[in-house]
Structure 1
Amino acid sequence: MAHPLSAPSNELKAHIASTYNAIAPQYNAWTASHHDFRLNYLNRLLPHLPSSGARILELGAGAGDPGTALLASLPGAHIVANDISSAQLSLLRARLASEISAGKVETREGDMMNLALSDGALDAVVGLYSIIHLPREEQGELLRRIGKWVKGGGWFLVNFAGKEIEGAVKMGWLEEEQEGKESSNAMYWSSWSPAESKRLVQEAGFRIEVEEITAEEGPDVDFLWVLAQKVE
Structure 2
Amino acid sequence: MAHTLLSAPSHELKSHIASTYNAIAPQYNAWTASHHDFRLDYLNRLLPHLPSSGARILELGAGAGDPGTALLAALPGAHIVANDISSAQLSLLRARLAYEISAGKLETREGDMMDLTFSDGVLDAVVGLYSIIHLPREEQRELLRRIGRWVRGGGWLLVNFAGKEIEGSVQMGWLEVEHEGKESQNAMYWSSWGPAESSRLVQEAGFRIKVEEIGGKEDPDADFLWVLAQKAE
For normalisation by structure 2, the TM-score amounts to: 0.97
Report the counterpart of residue 104 of structure 2 in structure 1.
Answer: 103
Give the letter aligned to residue 17 of structure 1.
A
The within-5 A match list for 1:196-207 is: 196-207=197-208
Describe the superposition over 1:92-149 as per-residue Cα deviations: whole angstroms up to 9, x where unpaired: 0000000000000000000000000010000000000000000001101000000000
Structure 1 residues 46, 164: closer, same or farther in 2, change over 3 A? same
Q: What RMSD, in angstroms, separates the aligned Cα atoms of the two structures?
A: 1.0
| Distance (whole Å) between structure 1 residues aligned to residue 221 and residue 190 of structure 2 | 15
| Distance (whole Å) between structure 2 residues aligned to residue 52 and residue 192 of structure 1 | 36
| Distance (whole Å) between structure 1 residues aligned to residue 219 and residue 91 of structure 2 | 31
- Runs of at least 5 residues in structure 1 that lack an aligned partner in the other structure: none
Does 2:1 match 1:28? no
Q: What SS is found at the alignment partner of 2:159?
A: strand
Report the counterpart of residue 190 of structure 1 in structure 2.
Answer: 191
Report the counterpart of residue 37 of structure 1 in structure 2.
Answer: 38
| Distance (whole Å) between structure 2 residues aligned to residue 217 and residue 225 of structure 1 | 13
Does 2:124 match 1:140? no
Describe the superposition over 1:8-30 as per-residue Cα deviations: whole angstroms up to 9, x where unpaired: 10000000000000000000000
Report the counterpart of residue 64 of structure 1 in structure 2.
Answer: 65
Report the counterpart of residue 54 of structure 2 in structure 1.
Answer: 53
Report the counterpart of residue 88 of structure 2 in structure 1.
Answer: 87
Does 2:176 match 1:181? no
> Between Structure 1 and Structure 2, how many residues are aligned?
231
Identity %: 87
Runs of 4+ in structure 1 off by over 4 angstroms are: none
Give the letter aligned to residue 117 of structure 1.
F
Q: CA deviation at 1:5?
A: 1.4
Q: What SS is found at the alignment partner of 2:107?
A: strand
Report the counterpart of residue 224 of structure 1 in structure 2.
Answer: 225
Q: CA deviation at 1:178?
A: 1.4
| Distance (whole Å) between structure 1 residues aligned to residue 168 and residue 151 of structure 2 | 28
| Distance (whole Å) between structure 2 residues aligned to residue 19 and residue 221 of structure 1 | 20
| Distance (whole Å) between structure 2 residues aligned to residue 193 and residue 143 of structure 1 | 15
For normalisation by structure 1, the TM-score amounts to: 0.98
- Runs of at least 5 residues in structure 2 that lack an aligned partner in the other structure: none
Q: What SS is found at the alignment partner of 2:34?
A: helix
Q: CA deviation at 1:218?
A: 5.5
Q: CA deviation at 1:215?
A: 5.3
Report the counterpart of residue 6 of structure 2 in structure 1.
Answer: 5
Q: CA deviation at 1:217?
A: 4.2
Q: CA deviation at 1:207?
A: 0.0
Structure 1 residues 219, 47: closer, same or farther in 2, change over 3 A? same
